[in-house]
Amino acid sequence: MAMEKRPDFLVLGVSWEEFSLHVAFLLTLFLAPYSLIMALNSIIIFITWTDSRLRQIPVPCVPPPWPPVFAGPHTVDASNSSTVTEFILVGFEKSSPSTRTFLFTLCLALYSLAMAMNGLIIFITWTDPRLNSPMYFFLGHLSLLDVCFITTTIPQMLVHLLTRTHEVSFVSCMTQMYLVFSMGVAECILLAFMAYDRYVAICHPLSYAQIMRRQVCVSLVSTCWIFGMINGIFLEYMSFRNPFCRDNHVENFFCEAPIVIALSCGDVQFSMKMIFADATVVLLSPTVLVVISYACILASILSKASSSGRGKTFSTCASHLTVVILLYSSAMFSYMNPRSTHGPDKDKIFSLLYTLIFPICNPIIYSFRNKEMKGAMGRALGRTGMDHSESV
């Protein structure tokens, strides 16, 4: 009598119910915020296109002179309706020359280090056939996001530390803000997926190959990039929906959304509330997944591993959680804190933290402490040295 063929999930040691639970958890966690953001976008588009009261030309922020000057029915006094065409990034302009020189040297060294480490990780994870597991696939994309994220802001800051010209065009400010939004949101979601990957690898090792197969990993990474780009469009619209006719000095070294929104005219509070709501969904949802994943990992290790294994796992989990918590907390301070608690010095410190420090911490925490990654780096550097000697 022929045996009944069992489903692949059972052969690999996981039931269909467990696999469905993992998939449903991920879909619920990230489709819910996506649906919320799309619904908010749809409501805004519907209201602005159907409500005739919102089609009126906004009143200039600069009050007209008194007594009024009547210059005819079709003429407007240009001096009273000025429009911002560029922004001035104040950055560290008020610092002393010695301080700016020190900051330039330090930031240039850190930027070069971050680019070198992340570039090496990208090269290794994409060329070494031994690093074909989902963990290294995610690490390669995390390094790519770090490279894009740090290049969006730091080179411009380095130039402004050496020059007195800190003006950026309106389009440049919009482009920079969109890239910061897109890369930052994608990285927050990717870190949550990486935590889930570690959870499946440690708590469900027999079903790891099936749950985190190549197609699933590609879909998760694509979700990060696509969600980041779509969310960036929404945040960009909320940041630049109002006209700019006030002061154009941005008290930071890049175009950060809350500071730029505060310079606009019109309903500033509505834009800030929408930014806050979006940050709540985008930041808190991955935070919940990260905390749950590492809590399950620690519970599994405490019940199974030896004392030496526990110490190593605790060290790894603690370092990962430290990076994630610092990244999320600094982003929450910038986009979820009331503006009354902000200040130029605080904003710059937290901005430097998540734009420069974390792209350096990620390779050290996630990669350079890994034995397989160290071996791959040794092979890559040795191969490069041999190729160079042969060419000479």
pLDDT in tens, 137-147: 998 999 999 99
Residue 10 has pLDDT above 60, yes or no: no
Residue 93 DSSP code: T
Q: How confident is the model at residue 75 (pLDDT cuts 50, 70, 90)?
A: very low
Tell me the two tokens of residue 160. Answer: 């402004």
Question: Nearest to residue 189, comparing CAs of 93, 308, 72, 281?
Answer: 281
Q: Which of 47-56, 290-299, 365-374 has the lowest mean pLDDT?
A: 47-56
Q: Which residue has the higher pLDDT, 254 or 32?
A: 254
- Across the range 381-389, mean pLDDT stands at 56
Q: What is residue 383's predicted lDDT score, i.e. its pLDDT?
A: 61
- Across the range 153-178, mean pLDDT stands at 89
Q: What is residue 106's predicted lDDT score, i.e. its pLDDT?
A: 92
Residue 30 has pLDDT above 70, yes or no: no
Q: What is residue 202's predicted lDDT score, i.e. its pLDDT?
A: 85
What average pLDDT does the structure give for the chain? 75
Write the DSSP assignment of 154-180 as a string of letters. HHHHHHHHH-S--EEEHHHHHHHHHHH
Q: How confident is the model at residue 65 (pLDDT cuts 50, 70, 90)?
A: very low
Residue 384 has pLDDT above 90, yes or no: no
Q: What is residue 226's predicted lDDT score, i.e. its pLDDT?
A: 95
Q: What contacts 60, CB < 8 A, 6 or more positions away?
A: 80, 81, 245, 265
Give the CA radius of gyration of the chain.
25
Question: Nearest to residue 276, comparing CAs of 328, 332, 227?
Answer: 332
pLDDT tens-digit readout, 327-357: 787 777 777 766 544 555 667 777 887 788 8
Q: How confident is the model at residue 60 (pLDDT cuts 50, 70, 90)?
A: very low
**Residue that is written with structure tokens 């399950």 in the block:** 296
Between CA 362 and CA 381, with CA 142 as vertex, the angle to 5 degrees is 75
- Across the range 301-312, mean pLDDT stands at 68
* In the chain, % of residues over pLDDT 70: 70
H or E stretch at 88: strand 86-89
d(CA 68, CA 126): 68
Residue 84 has pLDDT above 70, yes or no: yes
Residue 39 has pLDDT above 50, yes or no: no
Q: How confident is the model at residue 74 (pLDDT cuts 50, 70, 90)?
A: very low
Q: Which residue has the higher pLDDT, 86 or 40?
A: 86
Residue 7 has pLDDT above 60, yes or no: no
What pairing do the DSSP bridges indicate for beta strands 167-169 and 86-89? Answer: antiparallel
Q: Which residue has the higher pLDDT, 75 or 20?
A: 20
Residue 93 has pLDDT above 90, yes or no: no
Residue 104 has pLDDT above 60, yes or no: yes
Alpha carbon dihedral 93, 327, 41, 168, in 10-degree steps, equals 20
- Across the range 233-245, mean pLDDT stands at 88
- Across the range 286-294, mean pLDDT stands at 87
The dihedral sign for the CA sequence 351, 355, 358, 360: negative
pLDDT tens-digit readout, 173-221: 999 999 999 999 999 999 999 999 989 988 888 889 889 999 999 999 9
Residue 391 has pLDDT above 70, yes or no: no
Half-sphere exposure at residue 1, Cβ-oriented, CA atoms within 13 angstroms:
2
pTM attached to this predicted model: 0.73
